[in-house]
Structure 1
Amino acid sequence: MDTTKPEAPKKDKLQNDASTELDSANAQSHPATIRKWFFYILIVGLIVSAVISIIAVLIGEINDVVTRALWTTFIMVLHSLIAVGLLSISTNKRNPNADEVALNILVGLTIASFVSSALGTWGVLSGAVVSDLYKLIFYALFADLLIFILLHSRMTDRAIARSAMASIGITVAFFIYLIPNVFTNSLNYTLPDIYNRGVAAFSILLSTAVVITIVFHWIYRIKHADELESQANAGQADTQLSEGSTPKQTMPLWAKVVLIVVGIVFGLPIVIGVLGGLLALLTRTL
C-alpha cells in the first residue's frame, strides 16, 4: 500500500500558502519602500536644518541665503511628513487598485508641491506662477480624492460600477478642461464666456453623476440589506478565526462621509435649480 499519496495535497496547500504570502509581501513592498525613503528625506532634512542653524549661530548673522535655506529645509520636512501621512492613510487592503492609483498621484502631487515651494522660495518662480501651480495641484488633489472614493464603490453591482466609472471619466475630463484656467493669472490672458459656461456644465454633469452613484449605493443597500448583514457577520467571524483573511471590498467610513458631503454640496444646487425651473414653468403657465 502506497502511503505517500495523502501527503501530496498537504504539499500543494503549503506551496499555495507560501505563494500567497509572497504575493502579499510583494504587494506591500512598494508603499513600504516609498515610505522608507520619505523617512530618510525627513531625517536628512532635520540634519541639514540643524547644520544650517549652527553655521548661522557661529557666523553671528542670519542673512537672506540662510533664511531661504532654512525655509527650503522646513518645506522639505513638511512635505515629507505629509507624504508619510498620506501613504499611511492610502495603504489598505480594501481595494488595492484604488490605493495604488491614489498612492502614485499623491506622491507626485507632494513632490510637485515641494518643487514649486522651493523654486518660489529662491525666487526662481514668481509668486503668480507659484500661485497658479498650486491651483493646478489643488485641482489634481480634488480629482484624485474623488477618483479614490469612487474606486471604492461596490463594483460588483453593474449599475454602481457603470455610474462610478462614468463619474471617474467625467472627473478626468473636467480636470483637463480646467487646465487652461490655471495660468490666467501668471500669463495674463482672459478666457471667453463660453469657457465659463463649459465649467458650469461640467460641474452640473459631475455632480449629477456623483449623486446618481450615491443613490445607486442606497438602492443596493436597501435591496440587499439581509445579504450585507450576513456578509458583515461572516466577515467578523472569519477575522476572528484568521488574522490573515482579506476583508470584503467596502468603502471606508471617511470615504462615505466625504462622498456624502460632496454629494450634498453639488447635489443641492441641482435640486434647487430643478425646483426653480419647475416653479418658473408653472408660473408662466398659470
Structure 2
Amino acid sequence: MSEKSTRIKPQFNLKTAFLYTLVGGLVVSALISVAAVLIGEMNEMIIKALATTFILVSHSLVILAFLAYDHANRIGEDLLPTVIVGSIFANIITATLGIWEIWDPLISYRAFGLYTLLIGVAFILTGLDKLRIADKLNRRLTQITTILLGLWTLLLIPWIFVEYDMLSSLYYRLVVALTILVATSFVLLLIFRWMARSTKAELRAPVAPKPELSTPSLGLIFAIGLIVGFAWIVGISAFFISAAQVQSY
C-alpha cells in the first residue's frame, strides 16, 4: 500500500503542475488577445506572445492527456511514452527560444527534427523489445541491432544540425552503409526468431503480459506515430536529395 502511494503521488503532482500550466497559458492568451484588441494592432511582440502561448497550451494538453490516461504508470517505465513526453516537453523550451529569437529560429526547427528522429527510433526499439524471446541467438541479434541502431541515430545528428554541403560524401556513404547493416541485422533477427520458435516448443508458450497502456494513450501514440512517420518520409527524402547534391559536386 505504501509503495503504491509512493508511485502515485509524484504522478498526481506532475498532472497538477501541467494542469496549472494549461490554465495559466489560457489566461495569458486571453489577456494578450484582449490587449491586441484594445491596442488595435497585432505588433511583433503580441504575435510572439500568442505563438508562445499556443505552443505552451497545445503541448501541455498532449502531455496532460498522456499523464491522465497513464493508469499503469508506464511513463518513466516504458521507453516509447517516456521519449514522447520528454520530446514534447523539450520542444516547448526550444520552440519558445526560437520564437523569441534567443537563438536562431532555425535551431528550433532542427531540434524538432531531432525529436522526431528520437521518437521514431523509440518506436523501433519498442518493436525490437517485442521480438525478444528466451533464445541466446535472439538475444545476441537483438543487442547487435540495438547497438547498430544507436550508432545510426548518432551518425544522423550532424546532418540534422549542420548544413548538408558541409558534410563530405564519405559521411553520406557511411550513413547508407550503416542503414544497410541495421536493416540486415533486423531481417536476420526476424528469420532466426521464426526458426527458434519453430524448433523449440517452449518458446511458443504464451508469456505473461506486463501492464499495457490504456486505449486513449495508445490512440495518442498512434496519432503521434503518424506524424512522426510522415516526418521520417520527408527526412529520408531530404537526406537522399542532400546526398545526391553532395555527390554531384
| Shift, 1:76, TM fit | 0.7
Q: Which one of 140, 153, 159 corresponds to residue 181 of structure 1?
A: 159
| Shift, 1:106, TM fit | 2.7
Q: Is the 8 A contact 1:39 1:84 kept in 2?
A: yes
SS class of match (2:186): helix
SS class of match (1:49): helix
Which stretch of structure 1 is more off in the superposition, 41-50 or 132-141? Answer: 132-141
Q: Is the 8 A contact 2:80 2:126 kept in 1?
A: yes
Q: How does 1:101-250 map to 2 (within 5 A)?
A: 101-185=79-163, 190-219=166-195, 222=198, 231=206, 248-249=209-210
* Aligned position for 1:44: 24
| Shift, 1:145, TM fit | 2.2
Distance 1:108 1:70 in 2: 23
Query: Whose radius of gyration is greater, 1 or 2?
Result: 1
- How many residue pairs were aligned? 218
Q: Is the 8 A contact 1:71 1:121 kept in 2?
A: yes
Q: Which has the higher contact order (CA 8 A, sep 6+)?
A: 2
Q: Give the AA of the match of 1:248.
A: P
* Aligned position for 1:239: none
Q: How does 1:13-52 map to 2 (within 5 A)?
A: 21-52=1-32
- Kindly indicate whether residue 46 of structure 2 is the aligned counterpart of residue 81 of structure 1: no
Q: Over aligned residue pairs, what C-alpha RMSD do you find?
A: 3.6
Distance 1:88 1:212 in 2: 39
Q: Deviations over 1:233-280 (max 9, x none)?
A: xxxxxxxxxxxxxx524999989xx8xxx9xxxxxxxxxxxxxxxxxx
Q: Deviations over 1:146-197 (max 9, x none)?
A: 2233234435443333322322222222111222222223xx7521111111
Q: TM-score, normalised by structure 1?
A: 0.61
Q: Is the 8 A contact 1:152 1:250 kept in 2?
A: no
Q: Deviations over 1:113-150 (max 9, x none)?
A: 11222122223333432332222222222222222332
Which stretch of structure 1 is more off in the superposition, 50-59 or 151-160? Answer: 151-160
Distance 2:176 2:204 in 1: 38
Q: Deviations over 1:32-83 (max 9, x none)?
A: 4434332322222112111212222233333221111111100111111232
SS class of match (1:115): helix
Distance 2:70 2:212 in 1: 13
* Structure 2 gap segments, 5+ residues each: 230-249
* Structure 1 gap segments, 5+ residues each: 1-20, 233-246, 263-286
